[in-house]
Chain A
Amino acid sequence: MPTSQKTAPRPTPTPAPRLMQTSDPTAWQRLRSPEVLAPIVVGICILVAWELFVRITGLPPYLLPGPLLVLKTLGEEWNTLLPSLLITLQITICAFLAAVVSGLFIAVLFSQSKWIERSFFPYAVILQTTPIAAIAPLIIMWMRNNTFGALVVCAWIVAFFPIVSNTTLGLNSVDHNLANLFKLYNASRWQTLWYLRLPSALPYFLGGLKISGGLSLIGAVVAEFVAGTGGAKAGLAYQILMSSYNLQIPRMFAALLLITLSGVGIFVLLTILSNTLLKHWHESAIKLEN
């Protein structure tokens, strides 16, 4: 914006729907909003009921440990569980990044030629629908010198499809009039991709990211399960397996809790990313006053 514009106060677009940008709620207000409070209340009720159930029926901890015991075990086992958590997260993040890059690339390729899309899309579907537990042993065997790499490949196979399919849909969902406009101005293929198709696809891509983030974690854990207890670096699935062999059920629950919390964390981070990127223009991220 030219400097001369900055001195004059910007006129307000009066008849337009006003946005809440100026009166953004503080973090504290947001924490007290019903969207946050309601699920927390439900969660606390379930945990209390669970704890009471375990105490009243006197269930032994190797059948079902109460939430307090799980928390206590998490504290005690933190030194062995944290390194495993970090390994699982490493696999997850590597697989996720690989899925984002490859998914985006494949989707752009699909959008550039109907023939490429027709020829290869079914194979992307096949890769997606093949149970990862069934092919993980093969991948781990083929890459037996690099277990970490093999686990990343397994998680990647699970995670990349939502990005491909969502982004392809987005790249093909361009506003008809805008497409005509680009045609009228003789926009090149790359200009149309960069200035029109990719921005149009952004909300779809971000939706794919949210699904794929969770799937990366699930893929990593499932692949670790299949890889079993071998290897020097062992993730959370290894800890769960070991705990179950030793009948340390509270420890198993503690590892499970870490996986769940990681999944929620990934989802929250990606939601924040999505809302930040779309806050000016997309319906999903706009807060209206009315």
Chain B
Amino acid sequence: MISTTSNRVLELQQVGKVYRNGTIALQDANLAIAPGEFVSLVGASGCGKSTILRLIAGLGQPSTGNIHWDRPEQAQDLAFVFQDAALMPWATVLDNVRLPLTLNKTKPNQARATAQDVINLVGLAGFESAYPRELSGGMRMRVSIARSLVTTPQVLLMDEPFGALDEMTRSKLNSDLLHLWQQKRWTVVFVTHNIYEAVYLSQRVVVMAPRPGRIHAEIPIDAPYPRDEDFRTSPEYINHCRAVAAQLHTAMQDAESL
């Protein structure tokens, strides 16, 4: 019901990507994403999930097919969170967070105030003048997320943002992210290889298959929000995880039989 054609922010139509060395990173991907939707892409490495994200972000052009934005100006109104936090090591937390505003020439006072707001929002108040080197992995990721939110984007693209973190930090950041999403209602496309994370966060999980990268299945997760810690142990949650795991399994078998 969410991914009906009339109500979408963007739609991938038969999108494929072939790299110069001949690798088919992505083949015939069709995917529509609704406004305010939280979609996860899961799959093994080499299944093209990061490729989809980069194409949506405009970091590279599709080799075939096209990406249709409902309102083209929204293509500019997005933010990207990289797998490693991608912070400038020479700059403080505050300077890292306000970088997008510095680049679009926002007045310094206003940029500082906006940056301070998002720093508070992600729970980093008090660390404004710390350098990335002094922060833990989880905190660096929070800085990265704060930086992505500082331009108040409508679409948030996250490329395995919590992949390098320990389980405790990951689940804390998961629930914090979900909490923020419920307040702000961005459209989120979230890439991960972690089934549990995908099911916990998303309204819809897209399972991808490798070699060549392609979309294998879409599984709606129709559990209501807010999803608290109890949800993580509920039978409903386990069933959804099981369904995603089963699809991933067949996706891998397909790939092996090719």
Contact = CB atoms under 8 A, between A and B. Distances in A.
Interface of A: 1-2, 5, 8, 10-11, 13-17, 19, 175, 177-178, 180-187, 191, 195-196, 199, 202, 280-282, 286
Per CB-CB distance, the 5 closest pairs between chain A and chain B, nearest first, are A177-B86, A15-B136, A281-B89, A177-B82, A199-B90
Contact of B84 (A19, A177, A195): A177
Nearest to B59: A180
B58 A19 contact: no
Nearest to A188: B103
A180 B80 contact: yes
A240 B89 CA distance: 48
Interface of B: 57-59, 76, 78-80, 82-84, 86, 88-91, 94, 99-100, 102-104, 116, 125-136, 138-139, 151
B134 A16 contact: yes
A178 B88 contact: yes
B136 A13 contact: yes
Greatest chain B CB density within 10 A among A5, A17, A177 is at A177
A13 B80 contact: no
B32 to A, nearest CB: 23
Given A177-B84, A177-B86, A185 B133 contact: no
Nearest to B147: A181
A286 B133 contact: yes
Contacts of A280: 90, 131, 133
Greatest chain B CB density within 10 A among A175, A181, A202 is at A181
Contacts of B134: 13, 16-17, 19
A11 B129 CA distance: 12
A172 to B, nearest CB: 17
27 contacts: A1-B128, A5-B125, A5-B128, A8-B126, A10-B126, A11-B127, A13-B130, A13-B135, A13-B136, A15-B136, A16-B139, A17-B134, A177-B84, A178-B86, A180-B59, A184-B57, A185-B151, A191-B103, A195-B88, A195-B99, A199-B91, A280-B90, A280-B131, A281-B89, A281-B131, A281-B132, A282-B90
A186 B135 contact: no
